[in-house]
Amino acid sequence: MTEITTLPVPRPIIIKRRKIIAGSHHGGAWKVAYADFVTAMMAFFLLLWLLSSPDKARLKGIARYFSPMPPAADAGTGTGSDLVSAVRNAAEVRPGRAPREPAAAVNVRSIANDLRMALRASPITMGIDDNLRIAADPRGTRIELMDTRARPLFRLGTAEPNAYGLLVIKAIGERLGARGARIAIEGHSDGVGGLTDPNWRLSMDRANVARRLLTDAGVAAGRVSEVVAFANTRLAFPDDPARPENRRISVIVLDEDDAMPVMKPSA
């Protein structure tokens, strides 16, 4: 009898392939978030490193970058509301100008209060508000001493200050000298007669007289950075060239980083 041999039946081979679907929750979005996080942390630690630096110039540059600049606008004729307005304006941003540290607003207020207290201490100069204007300036704090119809500071058409003008300039010089301020002085005339030699000479002579009186009162000669004449090229009231307030002396209390070095004569 023949024996029948049964061969094993081969088992089927099953291959499972996993289908990958793009955009699942294991995609690359986390890489973007992580990169943003790393960038933010790098900027944060860079800022900490800069702030820990003892370099004052670098710190001032950072402060100016993040701070607004006060406009060189008129701070009024001396009333309380005008001064508040000037300090408020110091915190605003003016397009097209470099940022400025907010400490400038505090400096304007401090100088204004100091000068007004000194001038109001005398019965002669206590009505100074019409002649005095204090404003923020791109280089520091601008103090303007203006003629008025009722109370001029100089004899008309001359560089000779009257008694009232002498007292005002002397009082301001004493206060600025006590502060050790570095200053620049500008002379301005009115628009009567046009842009002529007499207006140039008068504005220069008055600025030079103001320099002498300020240094006599206490401002160190080496703290005067410049004395400049503008004649009637920068009228305070362009719509009224003959107005007495156009005749003025401007004293700019300079921020130290904006002050021009004083050149010493060579031997």
Q: pLDDT tens digits, residue range 105-135?
A: 777 788 888 888 877 777 777 778 889 898 8
Higher pLDDT, 103 or 247: 247
- The pLDDT-based confidence of 81 (bands split at 50, 70, 90) is very low
The pLDDT, as a whole number, for residue 109 is 80
Candidate from 80-89, 141-150, 203-212, 247-256 with smallest mean pLDDT:
80-89
What backbone torsions phi and psi does residue 174 show, to the nearest 5 degrees?
-65, -45
Higher pLDDT, 69 or 246: 246
The pLDDT, as a whole number, for residue 75 is 41
Tell whether the model's pLDDT for residue 50 goes beyond 60.
yes
CA distance readout (Å), 260 to 58, 122, 177, 187, 254: 20, 34, 18, 18, 9
Say what the pTM is.
0.58
Q: What is the mean pLDDT of residues 80-95?
A: 46
**204, 229 in Cβ contact below 8 A?**
yes
Higher pLDDT, 158 or 194: 158
Tell whether the model's pLDDT for residue 58 goes beyond 80.
no
Higher pLDDT, 124 or 164: 164
Domains and CATH numbers, the chain: 67-258 (3.30.1330.60)
- The pLDDT-based confidence of 63 (bands split at 50, 70, 90) is low
Tokens matching residue 107: 């400096």
Tell whether the model's pLDDT for residue 188 goes beyond 90.
yes
233-262 CB burial, b ≥16 within 10 A, e <16 = eebbeeeeeebbbbbbbbbbbbbeeebeee
Q: What is the mean pLDDT of residues 5-15?
A: 69
Nearest to 83 by CA among 72, 71, 74: 74
**171, 119 in Cβ contact below 8 A?**
yes
Reported in sequence order, the residue ranges of 138-247 that DSSP labels E, i.e. its strands, are: 140-146, 183-188, 224-229
